[in-house]
Amino acid sequence: MAEQEFERFGEAMDLDFDVSFMEDEDRKGFEVAKRRIVSAIMSGAMVVNDDGCPIYTPQRVEGGDANPITFYEPTGATYMAMDRKKKTEDMGKMMALMADYTKTSSGLFGKMKNADLKVCLAVTTLFLG
């Protein structure tokens, strides 16, 4: 079931999940991202809504319940958000990208615990492929 939801997300967002055309490094990165996302779906931390958007609820939040984060389909402006960062600010670019297409702030991701951040980055890397 979780794999089906992952595939539905890919189809809704027009993502290419065909590993037969990927180079070894890209295939390995894809498999890591897929495993993280499928695990999050299996645990109930992530759901895919009717529009195919993944919605992730961080699991390691200090001081209470976390608000769910919806990953909307990126637009050209989403990718341009990375241009506001310096060439050497790779993580800053990722945070800006995630903030834009989740309609949140980069500070949310900056404060996020590593386990939750890895899931969010997994979704984001699929859009960069």
- Domain coordinates of the chain in residue numbers? 2-128
Counted residue by residue, the chain has a size of: 129
How much is the pLDDT for 64? 67
| Tens digits of residue pLDDT in 63-117 | 767 899 999 999 888 888 777 777 777 788 888 899 999 999 988 999 999 999 9
Where is 35: in which H helix or E strand? helix 24-43
How much is the pLDDT for 10? 96
- CB contact at 8 A, 125 and 70: no
How much is the pLDDT for 88? 75
